[in-house]
Chains A and B, each alone.
Chain A
Amino acid sequence: MLPPDSSRRPALLELRQISKRFSRPLDLAARLAQKLGAAISAQTVHAVDRVSLTIGRGEIVGLVGESGCGKSTLGRLALGSYPASSGQRYWRGEGGTTAIDDLPATQRRAVQLKMQMVFQDPYASLNPRLRVGQAISEAPLVHGLITAQQRDAWLAQLLHKVGLDPSLGERYPHQFSGGQRARIGIARALAVAPEFIVCDEAVSALDVSIQAQVINLFMQLRDDLDLTYLFISHDLGVIRHVSDRVAVMYLGRIVESASTDEIFAHPHHPYTQALIAELPVIGGHRRDYQAIRGEIPSPLHPPSGCHFHPRCPYAMAQCQTLARELREIAPQHWSSCILDGGGE
């Protein structure tokens, strides 16, 4: 079922050196003080810091990290729902590779339509006063993908595809259970026939038995519709199960990426190693928890050099100053740790 070497698939979406900075605007007093010559500047969070990521056609890339590491921001950058502070997005469609944000508006819209998102809380993303059938069919009607005459038959087919009874289209969002809402969120994303879907913690809020149903649905749709996913989750178990390739983020940077089998068998970056050590295993029983020390630092004041060095058991003096780029330490296995291949 899985391609032998998914990382060699032709790229669909490529992010090059993409960054997102959020600044808090200065208040009036601070602006006045600045005018008068005080050394005050706006506080800036580097939510995503020069990240490059290539997603192959038909591939599922898992993006994992703890809260505040920038994984959701990266997902939104990939979709273009946040403008990037710097860096470029490239889309490889029928007409070759294009820098999406340089396209004229109409062409850009056509590419954007190929990219959709599934949110963690589908209830928050649905209008509570709109019947779900209306909510799902609104976008394709607006974009001229279906006509009003085709709507009912099209909707029935789409609802069936995500495992919902077509008659449920007449109901309102509050009349559904969590698992059904997740399916509605997926139907809404599929409505405009996308090629690429960002799933942002799409199964995290679900109970385990329902989560399994929705994970299966994602896998089924990928096979049926030849979809490409960026699957964002903090749950390493889910990521391991669905992904072909995994990228690990820490404080705005990707610290390691490799194929799923490779990264779980040979994690190189100490942060990845720590995450995998925390992955609960049922077979082991009664284990001793060995905690990684320290807190996740504030992204407002990230540690210098390698962001992970204050918590790293192998930290050396160099780690405090040297922030190394990702480098290929084995075929298709990238790590930013200084220990992998020595420092310079």
Chain B
Amino acid sequence: MSMVQPLLEVNKLQTQFPTSSGIAKAVDDVSFSLAAGEILGLVGESGCGKTVTGFSILGLVDPPGRVVGGQVLFKGEDLLTMDTERLRAIRGNRLAMIFQDPMMTLNPVLRIDTQLIETLQAHQDISRAAAYDRALEALGEVGIAEPAQRLRAYPHQFSGGMRQRVAIAIALINRPDLIIADEPTTALDVTIQGQILALVQALCRERQMSLIWISHDLSVVAGLADRVAVMYAGKIVESGTVRATLDHPAHPYTRGLLGAIPALHERGSRLLPIPGTTPSLLNLPAGCAFADRCAQVHGACALPPPDFAVGHDGPSHRVRCWLNHANSPNRIADAAP
């Protein structure tokens, strides 16, 4: 995988929001890469920076928020330093986003056909008739019955699940290489969520499309993704294949998240919640941000935790934690007489 150039490579991405009470480091030193056809699950609780990571990749961070450092290499080109015109040619074309609320994609006063055709004609030299045929096909692909009639409808005439499907059809219509999906099923009912997951999974397989699936729901990611990255307080604290990360979680936070899921416990038994609450992004400690909620906190945690491979699954399973690290100051101190 490391031999070929990855489709997307994010290096040391940093996004900050200045506020009246200080600078919020929403994304801090985030790095990951994605191969063609791969599905990455980006997981974390609210406020951990997972959505801002997605927005930063696409250049959608609103001022006063700003990407202050790092690189986002898409097919080798840095999206962060690219001029607006070039970025516009890529965005919505090779690179698309699905939002949690489909009404962020859809214009409420335009018919669905107008919006699909517009998306096509913005990026391709295509006649209106041909674009219409493609729109019809795209709506059928996402499982909307009677697409010819539905094309003439306005967004408010659709149910929530249908709207999300239309938003997905718009994201897919230019056959992008990468889709970033931000909690697209969170607001939907379980049977509709199942339909969307089935659709996205099939599309990734058939078209070798890559996907970043941003979610708070570890169990959805477990079923869908190839790899998972767990975020906490703006940093990726653990990443690896789904199997390695969920079967052998190395970071206490990942273990905590798994321990808190009701479905994994004997019915009626006490769950193992993580104590405390997520920290404010304004005054993060110099050391590990999870330290004051961590059961295995020790002296070394006051220092910035190292990012290293834990070896369950070769070099791809990484964790940002002092536990089990060979050069932990505590180990050295313990070893000393």
Chain A: residues with CB nearer than 8 A to chain B?
1-2, 66-67, 177, 179-180, 207-213, 215-216, 219, 234, 236-238, 240-242, 260-261, 274-275, 277-293, 295-296
Contacts and interface: CB of A to CB of B under 8 A. Distances in A.
A260 B262 CA distance: 14
Given A209-B260, A212-B262, A285-B243, A291 B219 contact: no
A274 to B, nearest CB: 6
Contacts of A261: 267
A292 B191 contact: yes
Interface of B: 45-46, 159, 161-162, 189-195, 197-199, 201, 216-220, 222-224, 226, 242-243, 246, 256-265, 267-275, 277-278
A204 to B, nearest CB: 11
A278 B161 contact: no
Contacts of B191: 66, 274-275, 278, 291-292, 296
Given A216-B270, A219-B270, A281-B263, A292 B194 contact: yes
Nearest to A67: B189
Given A288-B201, A291-B195, 14 more contacts: A66-B191, A67-B189, A207-B46, A208-B257, A208-B261, A212-B272, A236-B190, A241-B265, A281-B219, A282-B218, A284-B223, A291-B199, A292-B191, A296-B189
A236 B269 CA distance: 16
Given A212-B271, A285-B223, A207 B194 contact: no
A308 to B, nearest CB: 11
Task: Give chain B's interface secondary structure class.
Answer: helix
A172 to B, nearest CB: 18
Nearest to A211: B260
Contacts of A279: 190, 263
A215 B192 contact: no
A208 B223 contact: no
A242 B216 CA distance: 21
A154 B5 CA distance: 65
A285 B45 contact: no
Contact of B267 (A209, A260, A296): A260
A179 B277 contact: yes
Contact of B197 (A1, A285, A289): A289
A240 B217 contact: no
A210 B219 contact: no
Contact of A282 (B261, B269, B273): B261
26 contacts: A2-B267, A66-B189, A177-B277, A179-B277, A207-B46, A208-B216, A208-B217, A208-B260, A209-B257, A211-B273, A215-B271, A234-B189, A234-B190, A241-B271, A242-B268, A278-B190, A281-B219, A281-B263, A282-B261, A282-B263, A286-B224, A291-B195, A291-B199, A292-B191, A296-B159, A296-B189
